[in-house]
Chains A and B, each alone.
Chain A
Amino acid sequence: MRRDWLRWLVVPVVVVPLGWLLFVGLGRDPRDIPSPLVGKALPAIEAITLQGDAWSSTDLAGKPAVINFWASYCIPSCVDEHPFLVKLQARHADHLVLIGVLYQDTPDGARGFLARFGDGGWPTLLDPSGRIAVDLGVTGPPETFFVDDHGIVRARHVGPLNAQSLAAGLASIGIAS
């Protein structure tokens, strides 16, 4: 009788937590690392753009923003998402700020990429010291942050954007794609 009771105890105490751990652990995307920045204010950014202008995050001035870390060597991911960004800029440039940040790349490499795949006209910030990438906890290109009109980071997407992930990111900052 007592042994039966112990056997039934094993199920909730050992099997259920172990099964839950395996279910959660194996079902996770190892690239999907939650960003602690989500829900917090965007760290201050000051940089020079690829075009040679000074840019500061204070320029956002109440506009929502999409900040995309990319590099010319990031192939095919950055190439795959590029048309979505071009379309985003064309459709939402009047009420949204799209900013690129060059990740561990040279300005010449970036210019070559834009000449080949199309320059949508949004600024790309240079980050030669890697400071902007570290401040935003970037793990590698492409990586995209969605910032609302109050300067709060609402979502982070790791990997190339597609129609679905872009729509989800834009929805998090109150923009219908």
Chain B
Amino acid sequence: MALPLAAAALLALAGLVAVEALRPSPALTQAAEERQIASELRCPDCQALSVAESRTESAAAIRAEIEQLLAAGASPDAVRRHFVERYGTWILLAPPNPLVWWLPALALLAGGGALVLWLLRGRRAERAAEPPPPVDDRLRSRVREEEAELDA
């Protein structure tokens, strides 16, 4: 009962993630695009903040460069590439490979699958195990005798 429920819940979760990932995003103004790109880039000299959040001079320089590049007609992807070419993928706050986002879910599925297999195998082994040999009266009386001897 628990297994089909868990599978259904996982499927529903995967569906929600897929819908969210495939949903077309509305067109952004240039200012919104600047903010969006700045929020995806790591501030070079503070590291724990995005360029959008940081008040350092490097973050300000990057924001100014984003604005210039977009105003010159560069696409948001070209702007991101511009900074990756200078800083490497380190500058991106989110991993560029979308597969990375699926790794925890894949690890969870693999772990869950391994657990289910292990439980099923244990149950099967229990069922397949031979029943203990029947205890005849002679053996039973011998055990009682030995018990009595021990108690004496």
Contact = CB atoms under 8 A, between A and B. Distances in A.
Contact of A130 (B60, B84, B87, B88): B60
Contacts of B86: 36-37, 43, 134-137
Contacts of A19: none
A36 B57 contact: no
Interface string B50-76: 000000111011101100000000000
Interface in A117-150: 129-131, 133-140
A77 interface: no
Interface residues of B, number: 17
The DSSP consensus for interface residues of chain A is: loop
A104 interface: yes
B59 to A, nearest CB: 9
A133 B88 CA distance: 14
Contacts, number: 49
Given A138-B44, A140-B45, A131 B61 contact: yes
A27 interface: no
Contacts of B146: none
Interface of B: 44-45, 56-58, 60-62, 64-65, 84-88, 90-91
Given A36-B88, A134-B58, 11 more contacts: A36-B84, A104-B57, A130-B57, A130-B58, A133-B44, A134-B61, A137-B86, A137-B91, A138-B44, A138-B58, A140-B45
19 contacts: A104-B57, A104-B58, A130-B57, A130-B61, A130-B62, A131-B61, A131-B65, A133-B58, A133-B61, A134-B44, A134-B58, A134-B61, A135-B86, A137-B44, A137-B86, A138-B44, A139-B44, A139-B45, A139-B87
- Nearest first, the 5 A-B pairs at minimum CB distance are A130-B61, A137-B86, A137-B87, A104-B57, A140-B45
